[in-house]
Amino acid sequence: MDKAAIIGVGMTSIEGNKVRDTFADMAWEAVNKALDDAGMNINDIDNVITTSNDFWDGRTISCMAVGDASGAAHKNVSCVEGDGTFGAFYGLTRALSGSYGTTLVTAHTKGSQSVSSLITNAAFDPIYERSLGMDMISACAMQANAYMNRTGITSEQLALVSVKNHGNAKKNPLSQMPLDITVNDVLKSEMISDPLHKLDCSPVSDACCAIIIANEERAAKHKGKPVWIKGVSFCSDAFFFGDRDLSRAPALEQAAKKAYAMAGIKNPMKEIDTAEVYDAFTYQELMWLEGLGLCADGESGRLLEKGEFAIDGRLPVNASGGLLSGHPVIAAGLIRIAEIVKQLRGEAGKYQTKNPKTGVAHGVNGLCGQSHCVWVLGKDK
């Protein structure tokens, strides 16, 4: 792959209900923060990708509603439906196409405006599945059961993910749910859908994130600290849930292998210094870490207990607080990328990890990890 870099990031705070903001208001804030961060103005942006989902936004062609506030006037603008990591992937290919030197990528969600379980219920097949009422939480509860049954990962280990990530969120001023909690607090919180307690689940959230991707030539003119895109890949699993072995994440394993190969990484357990993974539920952080090859299959719980994934651990995971501390669905993956950019620049403030050189950002589209997108980012070219 030709070289490309992320030269600007910007995001709103993550909140349970941004009642004062429309989608466009959030985009305006995030886009201007990204432009300021890059030391650019809108005329330096060659094309725009917005990322949204029509069901979540409750409108047809939801991407167009944020076009003006995203600086898309008179520019080539396109939209990706899904997680922000997938929007960024398309933005990257455009920057590499030779037609554009820079791409502005945005992703937004306001979970507060709808009934989340009805929106995620609508992701299921309308003939065979939807009327039975399954949604993201119940589907993920079944995945958690299947994963725990296969690996022996315990509820206490799941709870520890919640304790760690809500604790990390206390250091992140943009986070929605900083909490001082114990494993016991998690286990005693309301059982939502066995085996998931309330504190095993991420909250409903509103936020927008924007990043600016530049090809090598334009990145070279950039005065700040470009973060280089070393490898990126995405893969998908089957549509029908019943066709998948929900206790495993083969699509993630494939995407990670391809991204590492592109980045020239031979041993991800040793070469990745920090990671932001899609922890919509506690078990997912553990399951995805294994799928990403960042620890052996079934070992994540034990390593977590040893403190390896803490901010000062061997491999800090979700130092920002992760999605358990704020889960704006479509923006979620793009925020993972922006957080790794901050880490690699050494600008993560109180949750800065120790001198990372290479980081992984991970996004998910579809329920229970139907599609995974893996980004390997580096401080050095």
Partner 1 sequence: MSDKDYIIIESGKAEQPFHYAVGMHGSKFFRELKDNRRFIGLKCPKCGKVFIPPRGVCGECFVEMNEWVEVGPNGVIGSFTILRYAFIDPETGQQKPIPYGYGFIKLDGADTLFQHYINIEDESKVKIGARVEAVFSKERKGSIRDIEYFRVVD
Which spans of this chain sit near partner 1 (rule: CB under 8 A)?
Answer: 19-20, 58, 115, 117-118, 121-122, 125-135, 137-138, 141-143, 145-146, 149, 190-196, 238-243, 246-247
Cβ nearer to partner 1, comparing 14 with 139: 139
What is the rounded end-to-end Cα distance, in angstroms, of the chain?
13
Q: How far is the CB of 162 from partner 1 (least distance, A)?
A: 17
Nearest Cα to 70, choosing from 101, 54, 55, 91? 91
Q: How far is the CB of 285 from partner 1 (least distance, A)?
A: 19
Asked if 227 and 6 count as a contact pair (C-beta separation under 8 A), the reply is: yes
| Cα distances (Å, whole numbers) of residue 95 to 66, 91, 103, 260, 290 | 21, 6, 6, 21, 31
Cβ nearer to partner 1, comparing 244 with 336: 244
Distance from C-alpha of 106 to C-alpha of 210, rounded to nearest angstrom: 4
Q: How far is the CB of 238 from partner 1 (least distance, A)?
A: 6
Helix spans in 83-235 (H): 84-96, 116-121, 136-151, 155-169, 183-188, 216-220
Q: How far is the CB of 134 from partner 1 (least distance, A)?
A: 6
- Report strand pairing: 76-81 vs 47-52: parallel
Distance from C-alpha of 374 to C-alpha of 275, rounded to nearest angstrom: 11
Cβ nearer to partner 1, comparing 1 with 122: 122
Cβ nearer to partner 1, comparing 168 with 371: 371
Cβ nearer to partner 1, comparing 20 with 74: 20
Q: How far is the CB of 136 from partner 1 (least distance, A)?
A: 11
Cβ nearer to partner 1, comparing 121 with 320: 121
- What's the burial of 341, exposed, middle or buried (CB within 10 Å: 0-12/13-18/19+)? buried
234 DSSP β-pair partners = 373
Cβ nearer to partner 1, comparing 143 with 300: 143
Q: How far is the CB of 164 from partner 1 (least distance, A)?
A: 24
Element (H, E) at 291: helix 282-291
Q: How far is the CB of 196 from partner 1 (least distance, A)?
A: 8
Cβ nearer to partner 1, comparing 20 with 266: 20
Q: How far is the CB of 202 from partner 1 (least distance, A)?
A: 14
Nearest Cα to 92, choosing from 80, 81, 82? 80
Q: How far is the CB of 117 from partner 1 (least distance, A)?
A: 6
What six digits make up the tokens of 239? Answer: 């549509």
Distance from C-alpha of 39 to C-alpha of 282, rounded to nearest angstrom: 37
Nearest Cα to 363, choosing from 110, 89, 79? 89
Burial profile 261-272: b = 16 or more Cβ within 10 angstroms, e = fewer: ebbebeebeeeb
Distance from C-alpha of 86 to C-alpha of 93, rounded to nearest angstrom: 11
Cβ nearer to partner 1, comparing 21 with 276: 21
